[in-house]
Amino acid sequence: MSITMKQLPESERPYEKLQMYGVKYLSNSELLAIIIKTGTKELTSVELAKRILSLNQNSNENDLSFLRRTFD
């Protein structure tokens, strides 16, 4: 079982990190985790976001736009 968000230091939690440092300091996985809001029993929202982002087959593309094409 993975670590829960409550077990992470506040400085590593996406919502708190957003409040403390601003959007420019969040990774794509942290931004997506904020949109997802919640994880599963096995994965935090950040881990789930990382899995979703790993579906990006164009390694030159460093943004979330591939998600739109995935569901078109």
More confident residue, 49 or 2: 49
> 23, 21, 24, 1: which is closest to 11 by C-alpha?
21
Residue 22 binned pLDDT confidence (cut-offs 50, 70, 90)? very high
Residues 6+ apart with CB under 8 A from 37: 45
Residue tagged 């390694």 (tokens): 59
Q: Which residues neighbour 4 within 8 Å (Cβ) at sequence distance 6 or greater?
A: 44
Q: What is the pLDDT of residues 34-66, one digit of tens each?
A: 999 888 888 889 999 998 888 877 666 666 777
pLDDT exceeds cutoff 70 at 3? yes
Max Cα distance, the chain (Å): 38
Q: Look at residue 31 in the predicted model and tell me its pLDDT.
A: 92
pLDDT (0 to 100) of residue 18? 93
